[in-house]
């Protein structure tokens, strides 16, 4: 069992949780993820590490309550425990050697991209962090990013925090201003990553995107997390989750992303029904 040490609501949709997992905390690196299961009846879900403390033996995850499992997870409290917490899985983001980087997070992707920005900044890289949210109430990790970046640019749909507009507009503006990036990392909705890659491609800037398709086992056996990269299909769990953004077929990824929505809706409805019966 893996004890939960801290649970904190960051906004009405997003929760931060600190889990004690000493062996994983010693090994996990930015970009890698874990597979967790709440109990014997629960499904396995992948969640990317937001932070770790090897000395304390803890892993921090940040998640949005959108499915049956994450809704249950958000209701857990400090002192509860998770049955399974397996990792580290996936490949670390290739960050070594970067001198001028731009890390872009859309919504919850900001939490997933934070460890990379922190590592780059702490290792002497000049790091711009561009984040995008619907409004000021959903902004994540503003203080943490300020401490671990050269420059933070917040974009909101309504202009209630930072600048009004899209992360790609901020990225293009920085490039036009002469930002000579040798690495761009984008984490967020597939459509956002598609247009980030389209923005950087004419300039030949190395661009990684973090793909988060349906994942069941985290070992490549299920085949659910296939991503078309160039002329081949790769598995996000064992070949990724980061891929060359200029080679990913984002349209294929978006088509695959809607295949299981009916099952997810059924799972949520079943959970709600069970809760009403138990009320």
Annotated binding site for FAD: 62-64
Q: Residues with Cβ < 8 Å from 239, sequence gap 6 or more?
A: 91, 220, 227, 229
Is the distance from CB of 45 to CB of 36 less than 8 angstroms?
A: yes
How far, in Å, are 98, 125, 213 from residue 199 at the CA level? 19, 22, 23
Backbone angles phi, psi at 270, to 5 degrees: -65, -40
- The DSSP result for 177-231, as a single string, is TT---SEEEEES-HHHHHHHHHHHGGGT--EEEE-----SSSSSSS-TTEEEETT
* Whole-number Å distance between alpha carbons of 20 and 79: 11
Q: Where are the alpha helices (DSSP H) in the chain?
A: 22-27, 68-74, 109-122, 142-147, 167-176, 190-200, 250-257, 261-278
51 strand-pairing partners: 60
Query: Which residue ranges are tagged as binding site for [2Fe-2S] cluster?
Result: 222, 225, 237
Query: Which residue ranges are tagged as binding site?
Result: 62-64, 222, 225, 237
CA angle 104, 193, 32 (to 5 degrees): 65
């Amino acid at each position: 069992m893996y004890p939960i040490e801290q649970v904190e609501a960051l906004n009405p949709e997003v929760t931060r949780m600190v889990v004690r997992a000493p062996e994983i905390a010693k090994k996990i690196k930015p970009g890698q993820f874990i597979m967790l299961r709440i109990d014997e009846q629960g499904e396995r879900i992948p969640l990317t590490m937001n932070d770790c403390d090897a000395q304390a033996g803890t892993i921090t995850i940040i998640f949005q309550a959108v499915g049956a499992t994450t809704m249950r997870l958000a209701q857990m409290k400090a002192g509860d425990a998770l049955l399974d917490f397996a990792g580290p899985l996936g490949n670390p983001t290739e960050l070594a050697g970067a001198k001028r980087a731009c890390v872009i997070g859309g919504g919850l992707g900001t939490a997933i991209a934070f460890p990379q920005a922190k590592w780059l900044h702490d290792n002497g890289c000049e790091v711009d962090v561009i984040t995008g949210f619907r409004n000021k109430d959903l902004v994540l990790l503003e203080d943490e990013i300020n401490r671990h970046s050269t420059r933070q640019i917040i974009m909101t749909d309504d202009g209630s925090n930072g600048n009004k507009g899209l992360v790609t507009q901020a990225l293009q503006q920085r490039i036009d201003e002469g930002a000579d990036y040798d690495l761009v990392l984008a984490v967020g909705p597939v459509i956002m990553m598609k247009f980030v890659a389209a923005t950087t491609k004419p300039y030949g800037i190395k661009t990684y995107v973090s793909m988060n398709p349906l994942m069941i086992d985290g070992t490549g056996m299920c085949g659910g997390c296939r991503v078309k990269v160039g002329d081949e299909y790769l598995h996000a769990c064992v070949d990724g989750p980061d891929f060359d953004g200029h080679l990913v077929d984002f349209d294929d990824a978006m088509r695959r992303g809607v295949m299981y929505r009916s099952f997810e809706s059924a799972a949520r409805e079943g959970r709600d029904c069970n809760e009403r019966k138990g009320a």
